[in-house]
Chains A and B, each alone.
Chain A
Amino acid sequence: MTETATDVKEMREIARALLAEGDVRVIIGWEAARRGARPVFVTDPAEADRLIFDARCVHNLVTYLNPRRDHVAELGKIGLIVKGCDVKAVAGLLREAQLTRDDVVLIGVRCGGVLEENEMPAAVTLTRDNVAPRCYGCDNREPTLFDHLVGEPQPEPPRPAQTIDERIAALEDRPLEERWAFWTEQFSKCVRCYACRQVCPLCVCERCVADKTRPRWIEPSPHARGNLSWNVTRALHLAGRCVGCGECERFCPVGIPLSLMNGKLQQIVAERYGYTVGDDPEQAAPIGDYRLDDEQEFIK
């Protein structure tokens, strides 16, 4: 990441002006904290200089636009700093009528990839070993959905040691029994903290199926049945909606490789429905868009 002070300055100036003129009540971006970069909520124009942008700015802040976030909505109209990957989630919320375009002012930043982890004292140069694998092949380093766009065009991020697609392929090479053993073991680690759901910008249900009790669709105990139901249901609810930001996997305290499952589902959606998630809210998504030529062998 070749972060230049001008990019950040420009971003701060826009944030300051938006707050000072009352166009927004809060700017959500990143700050440098004790343990690295983290989300910051700036409400006072004088505090706009807290904003940073560098390769540690991993978080998909669109999660704070999620309608479940009452305590964020209370702050008033939001100005949000977004990378190209993040803004796909804004498009998702718009597409699903969870948000209207006037609800938010988007400050897009041109991005050359981010690190896998935000917790480091300063940004370091991206390498094959530290780059977030999801950045490989990014098709939206320069967002098209924004109100303000800052920064210079950025180079492509390095290729990671192993891409997500390569990992999925490696898993698929294994026989069914081994794959089952693999996921059984992965899900056995789950403690049902629901971090994956809470951080997901597109988990928008007011009452999650996992929290419903009449009937109890998903057993809350973190045993094999409950964990399989939860993890599979969560992934399926994101099929054709997941933007691949990887926040679920990053926040998982026990390290379940959810990107593999999400990635596989997005591959299937691409193959069957010709759909790849982008940042155009008008682009119809497989869920909510019926076409006569859709494959529908399951209702034969």
Chain B
Amino acid sequence: MSDGRFFISESDLRALAADLLGAGTEVIAPVAVDACASPAAMASSACMRPGMEPEDLEYRALTDASQLDLGRGLPILSLKGYFLPEHEALCRWKQKGTTIEIKAVPTEFAPRVVLAAKPCDSAALAVVDEVMNWDYQDDLWNGRRAATTIINLACPVIDESCFCTAVGAAPDATTGADGLLMPVKDGYVLEATTEKGRALVEAHKARLAGSVPAETLGRQAADERSAASARVAGNLEIDAGSVRDWIDTHFEDPLLASLAIRCNGCGACSSVCPTCHCFDIVDEEEGVGRGTRRRCWDTCQSPTFTLHASGHNPRDDQNARYRQRINHKFAIYPLRFGEVLCTGCGRCTRVCHAGQDLVEILQAIDIAARRPDEAEAARRARTGDLVNIYQPQLATVTEVIDETSDTRTLRLEFQDEAVRESFTFKAGQFGEYSVFGAGESTFCIASPPTRAGFIECSFKAVGKVTAALREVNVGDIVGFRGPYGNSFPVDDWKGKDIVFVAGGIGLAPVRCVIWNVLDRRDEFGDVTIVYGARSVEDLVYKRELEEWASRDDVRIVTTVDPGGETKDWTGEVGYVTPVVEKTAPAAANAVAVLCGPPIVVKLTLPVLDKLGFADEAIFTTLENRMKCGLGKCGRCNIGPVYVCKDGPVFTAAQMKALPAEF
């Protein structure tokens, strides 16, 4: 058949296996075994209850083609043992006096065929290929891989512990294999996917029928394939990249650090795992002066795996050992080799009668990585740990800076050490700052997230709360709730030019982004800052304006409104908008961050548009009146948008879609 697909009946498939066996080729395939496979008489009397059918499957070398089991279970052990045997000789030695003779072991192997392999098992071989070849090439592994032709049998998905699609595999994948058998009515569609697979097909053409309409089979097979994928996707869906990054950055997180309380610390999970490949190397004496050096399966779950001769053990309890297993599979391996060290076969979950459930664990990590709010809600529901979202943290004022005659910056440090250490935020987020007795007020966090240990806010004393904040001194205590809202997508701007446009106190949120960008200067292109105020006196962050001006990797233009200049003013004179137009920053591969009084924003948008900035590339932050910051008090809505939750950062494109009520 021209498309490389052939129909093969079940009897022909067995005949093909018989042909291979007849030619002296080893054929490995699932074989049904009773729970106590043994001489038949023994099995029926001592191990098997009467009437019980053998239910376990194992990959075995067939002695007869009739043993080939195309029933769809998952063999107890994966295919791994045929490539990394449970134990194998690395070399043998013989010593006589001072003479030692080393006997090498072969690294070339006779050709063999695996029939009806599970896709999760062949995929695992391809994953482990990476570590076996990333520097030194393991020819014991490679030799067996090269000698083996693997034909998968598409899997109908076994149970609720399967999750291959969550880790990039699939029930009909041929990764690591040379072909696929797809069950259809009365037989199988056989498709070779590699040269080795095609050679097998070519050699056994006589058993393959070419007369069955390919299209019909294709469709039937395709329907079954997509149904199986949907079934397995229903068990677990995660974003493996987010899981990897979360694990990599949350080593001490309670979720990772106390995973193993019910774990017995046996190595059953790693024994049955198709990708666990860690081993031990031991010398076994087999008589006086002779023996074999072997490698045998080992497991990170055993205390002796990492135990030093001194007695020290870097992973000295089961929680640490279990974390290592998760870390190795879902962070370390993908970071080193680009692939998850797991193909979602679910064996570890099924084999653990203590209830360690990888599906549940990955789900929890995925939620922590992608939906932290949900993880927190689940934690609180579980522990009954209710928190009053309106209760502020206390913070000490450690520095007071007068920016202008009416604008002040306060630097704050949280009193609670745990909060001080764990507090993080993103550029553009805001908080509720309070003076007890006066109330709360909303400002952005003006310091950058790249500088930990403190936060800063800048404000103009215009109302009751800001007037009270104006009165606080170093050492005084204020309240803070936050961080709230979304943020500037700084990570998406890597490699781009950035143009900052700010007017007056509008520099506060922009300053946070500027420092965030300058602290990671290498990651971005040209940085241009256009900043204006009514008068020289009204320019905020004067020291920083000077610092930015003195850098040769920042272009800064400062301006004051006509009449606001002083005698020694060397900057521009004019409104921000025309100065932006005159500065004419390049718009190609650039984003603009714009913040200032509404009039500045309104007038500057068309200028940016004229300069070629797309609406999607212009970011601003809105300052609607807020009280709660939590999306509840109902004050900050613009149409259906809650500025406190959906903002405060919006693109010009998003703003244009909103009702004109800001």
A residues engaging B (CB < 8 A)?
33-41, 44, 46-47, 58-59, 63, 69-72, 74-75, 118-119, 129, 160-162, 167-168, 170-171, 173-174, 178, 181-182, 185-186, 189, 191-199, 211, 216, 219-223, 226, 250-255, 257, 260
Chain B 259-273 interface residues, beta-carbon cutoff 8 Å to A: 260-262, 264-268, 270-272
Chain B: minimal CB distance from A175 (Å) = 11
| Besides the known contacts A71-B260, A185-B38, 18 further A-B residue pairs in the complex with CB atoms under 8 A apart | A33-B357, A38-B262, A59-B353, A162-B50, A178-B42, A181-B42, A186-B38, A191-B86, A192-B86, A193-B270, A195-B268, A198-B265, A198-B266, A216-B284, A222-B87, A251-B354, A253-B268, A254-B77
Q: Are A251's CB and B37's CB within 8 A? A: no
For this complex, 23 residue pairs linking A to B, each with C-beta atoms less than 8 Å apart, are: A34-B360, A38-B354, A39-B262, A74-B317, A119-B353, A167-B45, A168-B46, A174-B46, A181-B39, A185-B37, A191-B271, A192-B297, A193-B271, A193-B299, A195-B267, A220-B280, A221-B87, A223-B87, A251-B266, A251-B354, A252-B268, A253-B272, A257-B36
Q: Are B354's CB and A199's CB within 8 A? A: yes
In the complex, A136 Cα to B632 Cα: how many Å? 62
Chain A residues contacting B203 (CB-CB under 8 Å) are none
In the complex, A242 Cα to B132 Cα: how many Å? 43
B319 within 8 Å of A (CB atoms): yes
B49, closest chain A residue (CB): A161
B544 within 8 Å of A (CB atoms): no
Of B41, B56, B349, B355, chain A has the most CB atoms within 10 Å of the CB of: B355
B160 within 8 Å of A (CB atoms): yes
In the complex, A129 Cα to B50 Cα: how many Å? 10
Would you give the 0/1 interface string for B271-305, flagging 1 where the beta carbon is closer than 8 Å to chain A?
Answer: 11000000010101000000000101101001010
Q: Are A38's CB and B355's CB within 8 A? A: yes
In the complex, A122 Cα to B268 Cα: how many Å? 25
Chain B residues contacting A185 (CB-CB under 8 Å) are 37-39
In the complex, A44 Cα to B38 Cα: how many Å? 49
Which of B38, B46, B161, B270 is the one whose CB lies under 8 Å from A170?
B46
Q: Are B45's CB and A46's CB within 8 A? A: no
B292, closest chain A residue (CB): A221
In the complex, A176 Cα to B3 Cα: how many Å? 58
Which of A33, A161, A198, A211 is the one whose CB lies under 8 Å from B264?
A198
Q: Which 7 A-B pairs give the minimum distances between C-beta atoms?
A: A38-B355, A195-B266, A221-B87, A198-B266, A170-B45, A193-B267, A171-B46
Q: Are A171's CB and B357's CB within 8 A? A: no
Known contacts A129-B49, A193-B268, A255 near B87 by CB under 8 Å: no
Q: Are A253's CB and B76's CB within 8 A? A: yes
In the complex, A129 Cα to B282 Cα: how many Å? 44
Would you give the 0/1 interface string for B306-318, flagging 1 where the beta carbon is closer than 8 Å to chain A?
Answer: 0000000000111
Would you give the 0/1 interface string for B19-41, flagging 1 where the beta carbon is closer than 8 Å to chain A?
Answer: 00000000000000001111101
Q: Are B36's CB and A255's CB within 8 A? A: yes
B359 within 8 Å of A (CB atoms): yes
Chain B: minimal CB distance from A296 (Å) = 31
Known contacts A35-B160, A162-B50, A254-B77, A71 near B284 by CB under 8 Å: no
Q: Are A255's CB and B76's CB within 8 A? A: yes
B270, closest chain A residue (CB): A193
B351 within 8 Å of A (CB atoms): yes
Chain A residues contacting B261 (CB-CB under 8 Å) are 41, 71-72, 75
